[in-house]
Structure 1
Protein backbone atom coordinates (compact mmCIF):
# COMPACT_ATOMS: atom_id res chain seq x y z
CA UNK A 1 0.00 0.00 0.00
CA UNK A 2 1.30 3.47 -0.94
CA UNK A 3 0.20 5.16 2.29
CA UNK A 4 0.84 2.85 5.28
CA UNK A 5 -0.05 5.66 7.69
CA UNK A 6 -3.70 5.42 6.63
CA UNK A 7 -3.64 1.65 7.13
CA UNK A 8 -2.23 1.96 10.65
CA UNK A 9 -4.68 4.75 11.44
CA UNK A 10 -7.63 2.62 10.32
CA UNK A 11 -6.53 -0.44 12.32
CA UNK A 12 -5.78 1.65 15.41
CA UNK A 13 -9.13 3.45 15.20
CA UNK A 14 -10.97 0.13 14.92
CA UNK A 15 -9.13 -1.21 17.98
CA UNK A 16 -9.85 2.02 19.88
CA UNK A 17 -13.56 1.98 18.96
CA UNK A 18 -13.96 -1.59 20.17
CA UNK A 19 -11.84 -1.00 23.29
CA UNK A 20 -13.76 2.10 24.40
CA UNK A 21 -17.07 0.29 24.06
CA UNK A 22 -16.36 -1.97 27.04
CA UNK A 23 -16.38 1.00 29.42
CA UNK A 24 -18.89 3.28 27.68
CA UNK A 25 -21.51 0.53 27.55
CA UNK A 26 -21.33 0.20 31.34
CA UNK A 27 -22.54 3.81 31.64
CA UNK A 28 -25.68 2.98 29.66
CA UNK A 29 -26.48 -0.51 31.00
CA UNK A 30 -28.61 -1.34 32.86
CA UNK A 31 -29.77 2.03 34.26
CA UNK A 32 -30.74 3.77 31.02
CA UNK A 33 -31.15 0.83 28.65
CA UNK A 34 -31.27 -2.95 28.85
CA UNK A 35 -28.51 -4.85 27.03
CA UNK A 36 -30.86 -6.50 24.54
CA UNK A 37 -32.53 -3.17 23.79
CA UNK A 38 -29.14 -1.78 22.76
CA UNK A 39 -28.63 -4.78 20.49
CA UNK A 40 -31.94 -4.05 18.74
CA UNK A 41 -30.93 -0.40 18.19
CA UNK A 42 -27.52 -1.42 16.86
CA UNK A 43 -28.69 -4.14 14.51
CA UNK A 44 -31.66 -2.18 13.13
CA UNK A 45 -29.49 0.88 12.53
CA UNK A 46 -26.80 -1.18 10.80
CA UNK A 47 -29.36 -3.14 8.74
CA UNK A 48 -30.85 0.11 7.47
CA UNK A 49 -27.46 1.68 6.70
CA UNK A 50 -25.91 -1.32 4.94
CA UNK A 51 -29.18 -2.06 3.15
CA UNK A 52 -29.18 1.42 1.57
CA UNK A 53 -25.42 1.36 0.92
CA UNK A 54 -25.51 -2.05 -0.77
CA UNK A 55 -28.20 -0.80 -3.18
CA UNK A 56 -25.99 2.16 -4.11
CA UNK A 57 -22.58 0.51 -4.52
CA UNK A 58 -23.41 -3.02 -5.65
CA UNK A 59 -25.79 -4.92 -7.88
CA UNK A 60 -24.88 -8.23 -6.24
CA UNK A 61 -27.64 -10.42 -4.88
CA UNK A 62 -27.09 -13.53 -2.81
CA UNK A 63 -28.48 -16.41 -4.85
CA UNK A 64 -28.83 -20.15 -4.48
CA UNK A 65 -30.17 -22.17 -1.60
CA UNK A 66 -26.75 -22.96 -0.09
CA UNK A 67 -25.59 -19.34 -0.05
CA UNK A 68 -28.90 -18.09 1.35
CA UNK A 69 -28.77 -20.67 4.13
CA UNK A 70 -25.19 -19.65 4.86
CA UNK A 71 -26.23 -15.98 5.00
CA UNK A 72 -29.09 -16.76 7.39
CA UNK A 73 -26.79 -18.76 9.67
CA UNK A 74 -24.21 -15.97 9.55
CA UNK A 75 -26.84 -13.41 10.56
CA UNK A 76 -28.24 -15.53 13.39
CA UNK A 77 -24.88 -16.65 14.79
CA UNK A 78 -22.58 -13.75 13.91
CA UNK A 79 -24.92 -10.81 14.47
CA UNK A 80 -27.98 -11.81 16.51
CA UNK A 81 -26.55 -14.37 18.95
CA UNK A 82 -23.10 -12.76 18.96
CA UNK A 83 -24.32 -9.34 20.04
CA UNK A 84 -26.98 -10.60 22.46
CA UNK A 85 -24.34 -12.70 24.22
CA UNK A 86 -21.80 -9.85 24.22
CA UNK A 87 -24.02 -7.13 25.69
CA UNK A 88 -25.75 -9.58 28.00
CA UNK A 89 -22.36 -10.72 29.30
CA UNK A 90 -20.84 -7.23 29.53
CA UNK A 91 -23.87 -6.11 31.55
CA UNK A 92 -22.95 -8.70 34.20
CA UNK A 93 -19.14 -8.65 34.21
CA UNK A 94 -16.32 -6.09 34.14
CA UNK A 95 -14.90 -4.30 31.08
CA UNK A 96 -11.42 -5.80 31.56
CA UNK A 97 -12.68 -9.36 31.92
CA UNK A 98 -14.89 -9.02 28.85
CA UNK A 99 -12.06 -7.61 26.70
CA UNK A 100 -9.62 -10.33 27.76
CA UNK A 101 -12.00 -13.28 27.38
CA UNK A 102 -13.03 -12.11 23.91
CA UNK A 103 -9.48 -12.49 22.60
CA UNK A 104 -9.96 -16.28 22.45
CA UNK A 105 -12.00 -15.83 19.25
CA UNK A 106 -9.08 -16.78 16.91
CA UNK A 107 -8.80 -20.09 18.76
CA UNK A 108 -12.45 -20.81 18.08
CA UNK A 109 -11.80 -20.03 14.39
CA UNK A 110 -9.15 -22.76 14.33
CA UNK A 111 -11.42 -25.26 16.11
CA UNK A 112 -14.40 -24.40 13.90
CA UNK A 113 -12.25 -24.75 10.79
CA UNK A 114 -11.16 -28.18 11.97
CA UNK A 115 -14.74 -29.31 12.62
CA UNK A 116 -16.52 -27.63 9.69
CA UNK A 117 -13.78 -27.61 7.05
CA UNK A 118 -11.70 -30.61 8.08
CA UNK A 119 -8.49 -28.61 8.57
CA UNK A 120 -5.74 -30.28 10.57
CA UNK A 121 -4.65 -28.87 13.93
CA UNK A 122 -0.86 -28.88 14.34
CA UNK A 123 0.73 -29.83 17.72
CA UNK A 124 1.82 -26.23 18.36
CA UNK A 125 -1.77 -25.08 17.97
CA UNK A 126 -2.94 -27.74 20.42
CA UNK A 127 -0.50 -26.35 22.99
CA UNK A 128 -1.75 -22.82 22.28
CA UNK A 129 -5.38 -23.86 22.68
CA UNK A 130 -4.62 -25.47 26.05
CA UNK A 131 -2.61 -22.47 27.33
CA UNK A 132 -5.20 -19.92 26.25
CA UNK A 133 -7.98 -22.16 27.58
CA UNK A 134 -6.37 -22.19 31.04
CA UNK A 135 -6.06 -18.38 30.98
CA UNK A 136 -9.67 -17.93 29.90
CA UNK A 137 -10.91 -20.40 32.52
CA UNK A 138 -9.05 -18.56 35.29
CA UNK A 139 -10.66 -15.28 34.24
CA UNK A 140 -14.13 -16.78 33.85
CA UNK A 141 -14.05 -18.42 37.27
CA UNK A 142 -11.99 -15.75 39.06
CA UNK A 143 -13.25 -13.52 41.86
CA UNK A 144 -13.79 -9.82 41.37
CA UNK A 145 -13.06 -6.85 43.61
CA UNK A 146 -16.41 -6.08 45.34
CA UNK A 147 -18.28 -3.07 43.95
CA UNK A 148 -16.06 -2.61 40.91
CA UNK A 149 -17.57 -1.92 37.48
CA UNK A 150 -21.09 -2.97 38.53
CA UNK A 151 -20.26 -6.65 38.00
CA UNK A 152 -23.48 -8.14 39.37
CA UNK A 153 -22.73 -11.70 38.22
CA UNK A 154 -19.18 -11.86 36.83
CA UNK A 155 -19.03 -15.65 36.40
CA UNK A 156 -22.20 -15.78 34.30
CA UNK A 157 -21.14 -12.64 32.45
CA UNK A 158 -17.72 -14.12 31.65
CA UNK A 159 -19.37 -17.33 30.40
CA UNK A 160 -21.65 -15.32 28.11
CA UNK A 161 -18.65 -13.37 26.75
CA UNK A 162 -16.88 -16.69 26.14
CA UNK A 163 -19.95 -17.91 24.25
CA UNK A 164 -19.94 -14.61 22.35
CA UNK A 165 -16.32 -15.13 21.29
CA UNK A 166 -17.18 -18.68 20.26
CA UNK A 167 -20.17 -17.52 18.21
CA UNK A 168 -18.01 -14.92 16.46
CA UNK A 169 -15.32 -17.49 15.70
CA UNK A 170 -17.86 -19.86 14.12
CA UNK A 171 -19.38 -16.93 12.21
CA UNK A 172 -16.02 -16.04 10.63
CA UNK A 173 -15.69 -19.55 9.24
CA UNK A 174 -19.27 -19.59 7.91
CA UNK A 175 -19.30 -16.10 6.38
CA UNK A 176 -15.89 -16.16 4.66
CA UNK A 177 -17.09 -17.94 1.47
CA UNK A 178 -19.83 -15.30 1.09
CA UNK A 179 -17.36 -12.43 1.53
CA UNK A 180 -15.14 -13.91 -1.17
CA UNK A 181 -18.03 -14.51 -3.60
CA UNK A 182 -20.17 -11.37 -3.19
CA UNK A 183 -19.67 -7.68 -2.53
CA UNK A 184 -19.03 -7.27 1.23
CA UNK A 185 -21.79 -4.66 1.56
CA UNK A 186 -24.29 -7.05 0.01
CA UNK A 187 -23.34 -9.66 2.60
CA UNK A 188 -23.39 -7.17 5.49
CA UNK A 189 -26.82 -5.89 4.46
CA UNK A 190 -28.25 -9.41 4.48
CA UNK A 191 -26.65 -10.67 7.68
CA UNK A 192 -27.50 -7.52 9.67
CA UNK A 193 -31.12 -7.78 8.51
CA UNK A 194 -31.26 -11.40 9.64
CA UNK A 195 -29.45 -10.50 12.88
CA UNK A 196 -31.88 -7.67 13.62
CA UNK A 197 -34.87 -9.99 13.09
CA UNK A 198 -33.22 -12.59 15.34
CA UNK A 199 -32.56 -10.05 18.11
CA UNK A 200 -35.96 -8.35 17.93
CA UNK A 201 -37.93 -10.94 19.97
CA UNK A 202 -35.38 -10.68 22.80
CA UNK A 203 -34.91 -6.92 22.92
CA UNK A 204 -37.91 -5.04 21.55
CA UNK A 205 -39.45 -4.54 25.00
CA UNK A 206 -36.18 -3.17 26.38
CA UNK A 207 -35.78 -0.91 23.33
CA UNK A 208 -39.27 0.54 23.75
CA UNK A 209 -38.67 0.99 27.50
CA UNK A 210 -35.79 3.45 26.93
CA UNK A 211 -36.87 6.93 28.03
CA UNK A 212 -35.26 8.77 25.11
CA UNK A 213 -36.84 12.12 26.03
CA UNK A 214 -35.10 12.22 29.42
CA UNK A 215 -31.73 10.68 28.60
CA UNK A 216 -28.72 12.77 29.68
CA UNK A 217 -26.67 14.17 26.79
CA UNK A 218 -23.73 11.93 27.67
CA UNK A 219 -25.89 8.79 27.53
CA UNK A 220 -27.37 9.91 24.20
CA UNK A 221 -23.83 10.32 22.86
CA UNK A 222 -22.78 6.88 24.11
CA UNK A 223 -25.82 5.18 22.52
CA UNK A 224 -25.13 6.96 19.21
CA UNK A 225 -21.51 5.88 19.54
CA UNK A 226 -22.58 2.23 19.81
CA UNK A 227 -24.94 2.47 16.85
CA UNK A 228 -22.80 4.59 14.52
CA UNK A 229 -19.14 4.05 15.40
CA UNK A 230 -19.14 0.59 16.97
CA UNK A 231 -21.46 -0.97 14.40
CA UNK A 232 -21.03 0.98 11.16
CA UNK A 233 -17.71 2.89 11.17
CA UNK A 234 -15.73 -0.01 12.67
CA UNK A 235 -17.11 -2.49 10.11
CA UNK A 236 -16.31 -0.15 7.20
CA UNK A 237 -12.76 0.58 8.39
CA UNK A 238 -12.10 -3.07 9.20
CA UNK A 239 -13.22 -4.30 5.79
CA UNK A 240 -11.03 -1.71 4.06
CA UNK A 241 -7.95 -2.31 6.25
CA UNK A 242 -8.03 -6.10 5.94
CA UNK A 243 -7.52 -5.78 2.18
CA UNK A 244 -4.03 -4.36 2.77
CA UNK A 245 -2.95 -5.53 6.23
CA UNK A 246 -0.46 -8.39 6.59
CA UNK A 247 -1.16 -11.22 9.08
CA UNK A 248 1.61 -9.88 11.37
CA UNK A 249 0.24 -6.34 11.38
CA UNK A 250 -3.31 -7.52 11.97
CA UNK A 251 -2.06 -9.65 14.86
CA UNK A 252 -0.42 -6.63 16.50
CA UNK A 253 -3.69 -4.74 16.53
CA UNK A 254 -5.54 -7.84 17.76
CA UNK A 255 -3.42 -7.72 20.92
CA UNK A 256 -3.68 -3.94 21.16
CA UNK A 257 -7.47 -3.97 21.58
CA UNK A 258 -7.58 -5.49 25.12
CA UNK A 259 -4.61 -3.34 26.16
CA UNK A 260 -6.51 -0.21 25.15
CA UNK A 261 -9.64 -1.55 26.86
CA UNK A 262 -7.70 -1.99 30.11
CA UNK A 263 -6.20 1.52 29.93
CA UNK A 264 -9.59 3.11 29.21
CA UNK A 265 -11.39 1.15 31.93
CA UNK A 266 -8.77 2.02 34.56
CA UNK A 267 -8.59 5.67 33.47
CA UNK A 268 -12.38 6.07 33.72
CA UNK A 269 -12.53 4.22 37.05
CA UNK A 270 -14.68 1.44 35.57
CA UNK A 271 -12.38 -1.42 36.60
CA UNK A 272 -9.09 -2.31 38.24
CA UNK A 273 -6.19 -4.20 36.67
CA UNK A 274 -4.44 -6.56 39.08
CA UNK A 275 -1.32 -8.72 38.85
CA UNK A 276 -3.60 -11.77 38.78
CA UNK A 277 -5.41 -10.46 35.70
CA UNK A 278 -2.09 -9.62 34.05
CA UNK A 279 -0.93 -13.23 34.47
CA UNK A 280 -4.24 -14.57 33.16
CA UNK A 281 -4.06 -12.22 30.18
CA UNK A 282 -0.50 -13.37 29.47
CA UNK A 283 -1.67 -16.99 29.22
CA UNK A 284 -4.39 -16.02 26.73
CA UNK A 285 -2.00 -13.88 24.65
CA UNK A 286 0.64 -16.63 24.52
CA UNK A 287 -1.99 -19.21 23.59
CA UNK A 288 -3.49 -17.05 20.84
CA UNK A 289 0.00 -16.29 19.51
CA UNK A 290 0.83 -20.00 19.26
CA UNK A 291 -2.50 -20.78 17.60
CA UNK A 292 -2.18 -17.87 15.17
CA UNK A 293 1.45 -18.60 14.23
CA UNK A 294 1.34 -20.04 10.72
CA UNK A 295 3.92 -22.09 8.81
CA UNK A 296 5.75 -19.99 6.24
CA UNK A 297 4.48 -22.15 3.40
CA UNK A 298 0.79 -21.59 4.14
CA UNK A 299 0.21 -18.14 5.71
CA UNK A 300 -3.37 -17.37 6.72
CA UNK A 301 -4.46 -13.88 7.87
CA UNK A 302 -5.36 -13.50 11.52
CA UNK A 303 -8.79 -11.93 11.85
CA UNK A 304 -9.35 -9.46 14.71
CA UNK A 305 -12.34 -9.83 17.01
CA UNK A 306 -15.41 -7.76 16.85
CA UNK A 307 -18.61 -7.20 18.94
Structure 2
Protein backbone atom coordinates (compact mmCIF):
# COMPACT_ATOMS: atom_id res chain seq x y z
CA UNK A 1 0.00 0.00 0.00
CA UNK A 2 1.47 3.36 -1.05
CA UNK A 3 2.03 6.18 1.43
CA UNK A 4 -0.60 8.31 -0.33
CA UNK A 5 -3.23 5.58 0.06
CA UNK A 6 -2.27 5.17 3.73
CA UNK A 7 -2.72 8.91 4.33
CA UNK A 8 -6.15 8.92 2.69
CA UNK A 9 -7.14 5.83 4.69
CA UNK A 10 -6.00 7.46 7.94
CA UNK A 11 -7.87 10.71 7.25
CA UNK A 12 -11.01 8.85 6.19
CA UNK A 13 -10.90 6.77 9.39
CA UNK A 14 -10.54 9.95 11.46
CA UNK A 15 -13.58 11.45 9.74
CA UNK A 16 -15.52 8.22 10.29
CA UNK A 17 -14.57 8.13 13.99
CA UNK A 18 -15.54 11.76 14.57
CA UNK A 19 -18.71 11.43 12.52
CA UNK A 20 -19.90 8.36 14.44
CA UNK A 21 -19.09 9.92 17.80
CA UNK A 22 -22.18 12.14 17.66
CA UNK A 23 -24.63 9.25 17.50
CA UNK A 24 -22.65 6.93 19.77
CA UNK A 25 -22.41 9.55 22.51
CA UNK A 26 -26.18 10.09 22.30
CA UNK A 27 -26.60 6.36 22.98
CA UNK A 28 -24.79 6.73 26.32
CA UNK A 29 -26.11 10.14 27.45
CA UNK A 30 -27.97 10.79 29.63
CA UNK A 31 -29.61 7.43 30.39
CA UNK A 32 -26.44 5.61 31.42
CA UNK A 33 -23.86 8.30 32.20
CA UNK A 34 -24.45 12.04 32.46
CA UNK A 35 -22.55 14.26 29.99
CA UNK A 36 -20.13 15.63 32.58
CA UNK A 37 -19.47 12.18 34.03
CA UNK A 38 -18.68 10.96 30.54
CA UNK A 39 -16.27 13.86 30.13
CA UNK A 40 -14.39 12.84 33.28
CA UNK A 41 -14.03 9.28 31.97
CA UNK A 42 -12.78 10.47 28.60
CA UNK A 43 -10.47 13.30 29.69
CA UNK A 44 -8.89 11.52 32.66
CA UNK A 45 -8.30 8.38 30.59
CA UNK A 46 -6.73 10.44 27.80
CA UNK A 47 -4.60 12.39 30.28
CA UNK A 48 -3.24 9.15 31.74
CA UNK A 49 -2.53 7.65 28.31
CA UNK A 50 -0.84 10.74 26.85
CA UNK A 51 1.07 11.34 30.09
CA UNK A 52 2.53 7.82 30.05
CA UNK A 53 3.08 7.92 26.29
CA UNK A 54 4.94 11.23 26.55
CA UNK A 55 7.26 9.80 29.20
CA UNK A 56 8.34 7.06 26.79
CA UNK A 57 8.69 9.06 23.57
CA UNK A 58 9.67 12.49 24.90
CA UNK A 59 11.17 13.78 28.12
CA UNK A 60 10.69 17.35 27.00
CA UNK A 61 9.69 20.02 29.52
CA UNK A 62 7.73 23.24 29.11
CA UNK A 63 10.06 26.05 30.16
CA UNK A 64 9.30 29.62 31.13
CA UNK A 65 6.40 31.28 32.92
CA UNK A 66 4.78 32.50 29.70
CA UNK A 67 4.74 29.07 28.03
CA UNK A 68 3.41 27.35 31.15
CA UNK A 69 0.63 29.93 31.43
CA UNK A 70 -0.22 29.39 27.78
CA UNK A 71 -0.40 25.62 28.40
CA UNK A 72 -2.89 26.23 31.20
CA UNK A 73 -5.01 28.47 28.95
CA UNK A 74 -4.88 25.78 26.25
CA UNK A 75 -6.02 23.18 28.78
CA UNK A 76 -8.94 25.41 29.77
CA UNK A 77 -10.06 26.28 26.23
CA UNK A 78 -9.01 23.16 24.31
CA UNK A 79 -10.10 20.50 26.80
CA UNK A 80 -12.16 21.72 29.77
CA UNK A 81 -14.54 24.30 28.28
CA UNK A 82 -14.44 22.57 24.91
CA UNK A 83 -15.49 19.19 26.28
CA UNK A 84 -17.98 20.49 28.86
CA UNK A 85 -19.80 22.53 26.22
CA UNK A 86 -19.60 19.85 23.54
CA UNK A 87 -21.05 16.99 25.57
CA UNK A 88 -23.44 19.30 27.40
CA UNK A 89 -24.70 20.61 24.06
CA UNK A 90 -24.81 17.22 22.36
CA UNK A 91 -26.83 15.89 25.30
CA UNK A 92 -29.51 18.46 24.47
CA UNK A 93 -29.44 18.89 20.71
CA UNK A 94 -29.56 16.61 17.66
CA UNK A 95 -26.39 14.95 16.30
CA UNK A 96 -26.78 16.62 12.89
CA UNK A 97 -27.08 20.09 14.43
CA UNK A 98 -23.95 19.52 16.52
CA UNK A 99 -21.96 18.18 13.57
CA UNK A 100 -22.90 21.07 11.30
CA UNK A 101 -22.22 23.76 13.90
CA UNK A 102 -18.78 22.32 14.68
CA UNK A 103 -17.76 23.07 11.09
CA UNK A 104 -17.57 26.79 11.96
CA UNK A 105 -14.32 26.20 13.90
CA UNK A 106 -12.15 27.55 11.01
CA UNK A 107 -14.25 30.73 11.05
CA UNK A 108 -13.64 31.16 14.77
CA UNK A 109 -9.92 30.52 14.26
CA UNK A 110 -9.78 33.27 11.65
CA UNK A 111 -11.58 35.77 13.88
CA UNK A 112 -9.34 35.10 16.89
CA UNK A 113 -6.24 35.16 14.66
CA UNK A 114 -7.25 38.61 13.48
CA UNK A 115 -7.83 39.80 17.06
CA UNK A 116 -4.88 38.15 18.83
CA UNK A 117 -2.31 37.67 16.07
CA UNK A 118 -3.22 40.74 13.99
CA UNK A 119 -3.72 38.68 10.86
CA UNK A 120 -5.36 40.51 7.96
CA UNK A 121 -8.83 39.52 6.81
CA UNK A 122 -9.62 40.12 3.16
CA UNK A 123 -13.00 40.64 1.51
CA UNK A 124 -13.33 36.96 0.60
CA UNK A 125 -12.81 35.87 4.19
CA UNK A 126 -15.22 38.48 5.54
CA UNK A 127 -17.82 37.17 3.08
CA UNK A 128 -17.11 33.63 4.25
CA UNK A 129 -17.57 34.62 7.89
CA UNK A 130 -20.89 36.29 7.11
CA UNK A 131 -22.22 33.34 5.08
CA UNK A 132 -21.15 30.72 7.63
CA UNK A 133 -22.59 32.72 10.52
CA UNK A 134 -25.86 33.15 8.63
CA UNK A 135 -26.13 29.40 8.16
CA UNK A 136 -25.32 28.76 11.83
CA UNK A 137 -27.81 31.40 12.96
CA UNK A 138 -30.63 29.94 10.85
CA UNK A 139 -29.87 26.43 12.12
CA UNK A 140 -29.98 27.61 15.74
CA UNK A 141 -33.03 29.84 15.19
CA UNK A 142 -35.07 26.96 13.79
CA UNK A 143 -34.10 24.67 16.71
CA UNK A 144 -37.13 25.80 18.63
CA UNK A 145 -40.55 24.36 19.17
CA UNK A 146 -41.81 20.85 19.71
CA UNK A 147 -41.36 19.81 16.07
CA UNK A 148 -37.66 20.74 15.94
CA UNK A 149 -35.10 17.94 16.18
CA UNK A 150 -32.50 20.32 17.60
CA UNK A 151 -32.44 22.30 20.81
CA UNK A 152 -31.74 26.03 21.13
CA UNK A 153 -29.60 25.81 24.27
CA UNK A 154 -27.83 22.71 23.03
CA UNK A 155 -26.96 24.46 19.77
CA UNK A 156 -25.66 27.50 21.65
CA UNK A 157 -23.44 25.27 23.79
CA UNK A 158 -22.03 23.67 20.63
CA UNK A 159 -21.27 27.14 19.26
CA UNK A 160 -19.57 28.04 22.56
CA UNK A 161 -17.63 24.78 22.24
CA UNK A 162 -16.53 25.68 18.72
CA UNK A 163 -15.57 29.18 19.91
CA UNK A 164 -13.50 27.80 22.78
CA UNK A 165 -11.80 25.27 20.51
CA UNK A 166 -11.10 27.95 17.90
CA UNK A 167 -9.43 30.10 20.56
CA UNK A 168 -7.41 27.07 21.66
CA UNK A 169 -6.10 26.51 18.13
CA UNK A 170 -4.82 30.09 18.05
CA UNK A 171 -3.29 29.89 21.54
CA UNK A 172 -1.59 26.54 20.94
CA UNK A 173 0.07 27.49 17.65
CA UNK A 174 3.19 29.13 19.22
CA UNK A 175 3.62 26.13 21.54
CA UNK A 176 3.45 23.64 18.67
CA UNK A 177 6.25 25.54 16.96
CA UNK A 178 8.53 25.19 20.02
CA UNK A 179 7.68 21.77 21.48
CA UNK A 180 6.69 18.29 20.32
CA UNK A 181 2.97 17.73 19.82
CA UNK A 182 2.82 14.88 22.38
CA UNK A 183 4.44 17.12 25.00
CA UNK A 184 1.78 19.79 24.55
CA UNK A 185 -1.16 17.38 24.35
CA UNK A 186 -0.12 15.51 27.50
CA UNK A 187 0.12 18.77 29.45
CA UNK A 188 -3.16 20.28 28.28
CA UNK A 189 -5.10 17.08 28.97
CA UNK A 190 -3.64 17.03 32.49
CA UNK A 191 -4.85 20.61 33.02
CA UNK A 192 -8.23 19.75 31.53
CA UNK A 193 -8.62 16.68 33.73
CA UNK A 194 -8.05 18.72 36.89
CA UNK A 195 -10.75 21.20 35.82
CA UNK A 196 -13.46 18.77 34.63
CA UNK A 197 -13.33 16.39 37.62
CA UNK A 198 -15.27 18.75 39.98
CA UNK A 199 -17.96 19.22 37.30
CA UNK A 200 -18.53 15.55 36.59
CA UNK A 201 -17.50 13.71 39.74
CA UNK A 202 -21.05 13.30 41.07
CA UNK A 203 -22.32 12.10 37.67
CA UNK A 204 -19.40 9.68 37.55
CA UNK A 205 -20.44 8.05 40.83
CA UNK A 206 -24.20 7.93 40.13
CA UNK A 207 -24.54 5.10 37.54
CA UNK A 208 -24.71 1.41 38.37
CA UNK A 209 -21.91 0.31 36.05
CA UNK A 210 -22.56 -3.38 36.70
CA UNK A 211 -25.94 -3.00 35.02
CA UNK A 212 -24.53 -1.55 31.80
CA UNK A 213 -25.14 -3.72 28.71
CA UNK A 214 -22.11 -4.67 26.63
CA UNK A 215 -23.08 -2.22 23.88
CA UNK A 216 -22.77 0.73 26.27
CA UNK A 217 -19.34 -0.40 27.47
CA UNK A 218 -18.26 -0.70 23.84
CA UNK A 219 -19.55 2.84 23.19
CA UNK A 220 -17.63 4.24 26.18
CA UNK A 221 -14.42 2.47 25.16
CA UNK A 222 -14.90 3.79 21.63
CA UNK A 223 -15.21 7.38 22.86
CA UNK A 224 -12.15 7.10 25.09
CA UNK A 225 -9.88 5.05 22.86
CA UNK A 226 -10.94 5.76 19.27
CA UNK A 227 -12.23 9.35 19.41
CA UNK A 228 -9.54 10.75 21.69
CA UNK A 229 -6.44 8.60 21.27
CA UNK A 230 -6.59 6.83 17.89
CA UNK A 231 -7.98 9.84 16.01
CA UNK A 232 -5.30 12.11 17.50
CA UNK A 233 -2.47 9.73 16.59
CA UNK A 234 -3.79 9.18 13.05
CA UNK A 235 -4.28 12.92 12.49
CA UNK A 236 -0.80 13.70 13.77
CA UNK A 237 0.74 11.01 11.55
CA UNK A 238 -1.20 12.18 8.47
CA UNK A 239 -0.08 15.79 8.96
CA UNK A 240 3.53 14.63 8.54
CA UNK A 241 2.89 13.44 4.97
CA UNK A 242 -0.26 15.18 3.74
CA UNK A 243 -0.71 18.59 2.22
CA UNK A 244 -2.66 20.88 4.60
CA UNK A 245 -5.33 21.39 1.94
CA UNK A 246 -5.91 17.62 1.78
CA UNK A 247 -6.28 17.39 5.56
CA UNK A 248 -8.66 20.34 5.49
CA UNK A 249 -10.79 18.74 2.79
CA UNK A 250 -11.54 15.85 5.11
CA UNK A 251 -13.03 18.29 7.63
CA UNK A 252 -16.05 18.54 5.35
CA UNK A 253 -16.43 14.76 5.37
CA UNK A 254 -16.96 14.63 9.16
CA UNK A 255 -20.47 16.18 9.21
CA UNK A 256 -21.42 14.15 6.13
CA UNK A 257 -20.48 10.97 7.97
CA UNK A 258 -22.30 12.21 11.07
CA UNK A 259 -25.47 12.85 9.06
CA UNK A 260 -25.39 9.46 7.32
CA UNK A 261 -24.80 7.60 10.57
CA UNK A 262 -27.36 9.59 12.60
CA UNK A 263 -30.07 9.08 9.98
CA UNK A 264 -29.26 5.40 9.41
CA UNK A 265 -29.48 4.52 13.12
CA UNK A 266 -32.55 6.69 13.69
CA UNK A 267 -30.89 9.24 15.97
CA UNK A 268 -31.89 12.23 13.83
CA UNK A 269 -33.55 13.24 10.58
CA UNK A 270 -32.10 15.33 7.77
CA UNK A 271 -34.50 17.91 6.37
CA UNK A 272 -34.17 20.16 3.35
CA UNK A 273 -33.88 23.15 5.70
CA UNK A 274 -30.85 21.61 7.38
CA UNK A 275 -29.44 20.86 3.94
CA UNK A 276 -29.77 24.54 3.00
CA UNK A 277 -28.17 25.73 6.24
CA UNK A 278 -25.41 23.15 5.81
CA UNK A 279 -24.71 24.51 2.32
CA UNK A 280 -24.40 28.04 3.72
CA UNK A 281 -22.06 26.89 6.49
CA UNK A 282 -19.90 24.81 4.13
CA UNK A 283 -19.68 27.65 1.61
CA UNK A 284 -18.67 30.16 4.27
CA UNK A 285 -16.10 27.83 5.82
CA UNK A 286 -14.65 27.07 2.39
CA UNK A 287 -14.14 30.77 1.68
CA UNK A 288 -12.52 31.25 5.07
CA UNK A 289 -10.38 28.13 5.24
CA UNK A 290 -8.78 27.91 1.81
CA UNK A 291 -5.49 28.87 3.50
CA UNK A 292 -6.33 27.72 7.03
CA UNK A 293 -7.20 24.05 6.75
CA UNK A 294 -4.25 22.71 8.73
CA UNK A 295 -5.15 24.65 11.88
CA UNK A 296 -8.69 23.36 11.88
CA UNK A 297 -7.84 19.72 11.39
CA UNK A 298 -7.38 18.97 15.07
CA UNK A 299 -9.03 16.53 17.43
CA UNK A 300 -12.52 17.15 18.95
Same fold (TM over 0.5): yes
Partner residue in 1 for 2:253 = 256
Q: Distance in 2 between matches of 1:286 and 1:148?
A: 24
Match of 1:301 among 284, 294, 297: 294
Q: Is 1:84–2:65 an aligned residue pair?
A: no
Deviation at 1:145, TM superposition (A): 8.4
- Deviation per CA, 1:179-212, whole angstroms, max 9, x where unpaired? 2211211111100000011111111111111221
Q: Distance in 2 between matches of 1:193 and 1:300?
A: 27
Contact 1:20 1:264 in 2 (8 A): yes
Q: Is 1:183–2:176 an aligned residue pair?
A: no
Deviation at 1:300, TM superposition (A): 6.8
Q: Distance in 1 between matches of 2:182 and 2:247?
A: 21
Change (3 A) 1:234 1:145: farther
Alpha-carbon RMSD: 1.7
Q: Distance in 1 between matches of 2:230 and 2:100?
A: 23
Please list every run of 5 or more consecutive structure 1 residues that lacks an aligned counterpart in the other structure: none
Q: Distance in 1 between matches of 2:256 and 2:119?
A: 31
Partner residue in 2 for 1:169 = 166
Partner secondary structure for residue 258 of structure 1: helix
Deviation at 1:104, TM superposition (A): 0.1
Deviation at 1:2, TM superposition (A): 5.7
Equivalent residue runs for 1:277-292 within 5 Å: 277-292=274-289
Deviation at 1:241, TM superposition (A): 1.0
Contact 2:54 2:183 in 1 (8 A): yes
Q: Distance in 2 between matches of 1:39 and 1:300?
A: 27
Contact 1:37 1:203 in 2 (8 A): yes
Q: Is 1:36–2:29 an aligned residue pair?
A: no
Equivalent residue runs for 1:48-87 within 5 Å: 48-87=48-87
Q: Is 1:276–2:273 an aligned residue pair?
A: yes
Q: Is 1:98–2:68 an aligned residue pair?
A: no
Q: Distance in 2 between matches of 1:213 and 1:147?
A: 36
Q: Distance in 2 between matches of 1:14 and 1:212?
A: 29
Deviates more, 1:223-232 or 1:125-134: 223-232
Change (3 A) 1:166 1:263: same
Deviates more, 1:138-147 or 1:4-13: 138-147
Change (3 A) 1:143 1:173: closer
Q: Distance in 1 between matches of 2:41 and 2:209?
A: 12
Partner secondary structure for residue 243 of structure 1: helix
TM-score, normalised to structure 1, is 0.94
Change (3 A) 1:77 1:191: same
Q: Distance in 1 between matches of 2:225 and 2:144?
A: 32
Contact 1:250 1:303 in 2 (8 A): no
Please list every run of 5 or more consecutive structure 2 residues that lacks an aligned counterpart in the other structure: none
Deviation at 1:178, TM superposition (A): 1.3
TM-score, normalised to structure 2, is 0.96
Contact 1:131 1:283 in 2 (8 A): yes
Q: Distance in 1 between matches of 2:298 and 2:60?
A: 26
Partner secondary structure for residue 59 of structure 2: coil
